[in-house]
A and B are shown apart, each in its own frame.
Chain A
Amino acid sequence: MRNRIQQQFFIQFFGFCMLTVFAVYGQDKYLDKKGVIVFEASEKLFEEVKAKNESVTAIFDVSKNEIASLALIRGFRFKNSLMQEHFNENYIESDLYPKAIFRGKISDFDLNDLGSGSKEYTIKGVLEIREQKKSIVPVVHIQLINGVISLQGSFKVLPQDFDIQIPKIVANKIAKEVMVRFDFKLLANEED
């Protein structure tokens, strides 16, 4: 009798340990499949040069504080369809270079430090577009809301950083600096 109870206890305890291990393991990676990136290079008095991608992938590994994000170039949508066509065909050449990828690390981040308010951090990382790598250090605001990590931030890049030539005829209609904003809502073990 006593043996049986011990046995049962052992099984339950073992099961509980396994569950804890899996739960902790599973929560290392936070994922967003529908992240948002907006970039803008508008000049005053001219038509806005702005596009939005609403299906950006972002993965945040909280055990290593590493973040990776991927945006498919063809997923960027402009208001003006001709601008979108030129962006894909002439500027980025999305058939040859279909994606933009960022990999970085957040310094001094600890998930347990996050309260209800948002905190400011910097991510040191590399953005790669058209096989050109550019180091960027975006400032991000991180907040934990009901188990969802909200990550919002921005940075600036230049078209030349990625070997993109802006033809003279449109040079004054496109800002020299491109402002990029991102908004990720990362979930642990996200299904969809």
Chain B
Amino acid sequence: MKKTKTHLFLAISGLLVSLIGYGYFYLNQTHRNIQAEEVKYTVTSSEMAESFRKPGAKTNIADQVIQTKGRITALGEKSVTLDKRVNVLFLKKLPADLKKGREVTIKGRCVGYDDLLDVVKVDQALLIEHFELNINRLEYE
């Protein structure tokens, strides 16, 4: 009789501890780590803008991890604008040798479409690679 009571007590307290533990971790989850997540869509800057601009289009890239490539048209300490269409905010400071006109590939989270500026916003981004601008392309512009 005594044994079953002890067992019952142990079982209930064990359950309680695990519930509290689960609750604690549930309530204090860490934020998404965009860098650790896999890229869900690889898109061009114009594809990104189009996906938001078309009326009624499903904007399925919002809040997704995306990878995109483009030419830098504006440059800040922790931000770039690609092809005048995509505004990217980085987690870290950008390398000092990065210049306007360079082509870069970035990975980040698509935040959404800003219709005041007509740009798509990306945050928590990481610079994947950057190249010198192709000379031939300059000549034709």
Contact = CB atoms under 8 A, between A and B. Distances in A.
A92 B111 CA distance: 15
A33 interface: yes
A159 interface: no
B92 to A, nearest CB: 15
A52 B58 CA distance: 27
Contacts of B115: 70, 99
Contacts of B32: 81
Interface string B10-26: 00000000000000001
Contact of A74 (B28, B62, B75): B62
B76 A74 contact: no
A192 interface: yes
A34 B81 CA distance: 13
B117 A33 contact: yes
B137 to A, nearest CB: 21
A70 B87 CA distance: 14
B76 A95 contact: no
Contacts of A98: 59, 62, 112-113
Given A81-B32, A82-B27, A84-B31, 6 more contacts: A34-B76, A55-B121, A74-B62, A80-B28, A81-B31, A98-B113
Interface of A: 33-34, 54-55, 57, 59, 68-70, 72-75, 77, 80-82, 84, 88, 94-95, 98-99, 101, 191-192
20 contacts: A55-B111, A55-B123, A57-B116, A70-B114, A72-B112, A72-B113, A74-B63, A74-B112, A75-B111, A75-B112, A75-B121, A81-B29, A81-B30, A81-B32, A82-B26, A82-B27, A99-B112, A99-B114, A101-B116, A192-B74
